[in-house]
Amino acid sequence: METLAFIPSPSAGEIHLGPLPLRGYALCIILGVFAAVWLGGRRWVARGGRPGTVADIAVWAVPFGLVGGRLYHVITDYQLYFGEGRNPVDALRIWDGGLGIWGAIALGALGAWIGCRRRGIALPAYADAVAPGIVLAQALGRWGNWFNQELYGRPTDLPWALKIDPEHRPVDTPDLATYHPTFLYESLWCLGVALLVIWADRRFRLGHGRAFAVYVAGYTVGRFWTEYLRVDDAHHVLGMRLNNWTALVVFLAAVVYIVVSARKRPGREDVVEPHADADGAEAANEGVSAEKSAT
């Protein structure tokens, strides 16, 4: 297969920050978390919440999400870690890649619920604020697959094909060097979904978890077709990859939620965080008092 142009893969999965080596996969996850907290924080304050609330709740959500993502991956790809010739300890090597977004969102939501409950905040309002940030984090996190040369698609000679080193190629195509860069497809799709959620939220004033549901529905559509292109080992059900079935079920659930929620609880929450308005008014009064004292 002759390829005139291609995307090169990194020669190593590590980035050296001075004397400190940092796994590229871990770096992408870290950057994604910071991006999600930054964007979510701005949206939360714009909706009337307190600065710092998103970061405080993320202290609960992020660890839960990482554990959930890893558990989903290990459970659905157990053959990689258990059985003859496998080392179960490798299931703990999260820096080598392997996070299932379905488990990350499910358990991350549990962590966010705990954090929200401690502050007297409704989870749907928080989810709406952080939804674009979450999918932005996914867009950045997908580049970790590029560093690890994993989860790519079928062989192709397109100009944007991804070149894979021989040791990372499928066993049935060892002589084919270029493949669909599904990590790039999904990353770009996630950026588009983030913009879609922001636009839809402004245009329709989504509330009560519907902005988050738009993110879920939009992401699963893209995940379905990128998953269809992938050639890595996966469990199949009725001839279709397990993640395709999961994407389909989650998409339908998100659409049903949007419809039902819009009928039962139209509009958007007036207050997203208790006492936030009072704090803002108090801060404004203090500012006026300070200004009068200065004059």
**For every one of its 295 residues, what pLDDT tens digit does the chain have, with 9 covering 90 and above?**
555 578 999 977 777 777 777 788 889 999 999 999 999 999 999 999 999 999 999 999 999 999 999 999 998 888 888 878 888 888 888 877 788 999 999 999 999 999 999 999 999 999 999 999 999 999 999 999 999 999 999 999 999 999 999 999 999 999 999 999 999 999 999 999 999 999 999 999 999 999 999 999 999 999 999 999 999 888 889 999 999 999 999 999 999 999 999 999 999 999 999 876 555 444 434 443 433 444 3
First to last CA, the chain: 78
pLDDT of residue 18: 73
- Closest listed residue to residue 112, CA positions, set 99, 125, 102: 125
Residue 289 dihedral angles phi and psi, to the nearest 5°: -60, -40
Which pTM was predicted?
Answer: 0.89
Cβ proximity of 7 and 181 under 8 Å: yes
Looking at 57-203, which runs of residues are DSSP E strands? Answer: 161-163, 178-179
Residue 173 dihedral angles phi and psi, to the nearest 5°: -135, 55
pLDDT of residue 278: 52
**Helices 53-76, 24-46: crossing angle, 10 deg rounding:** 140
Cβ proximity of 134 and 58 under 8 Å: no
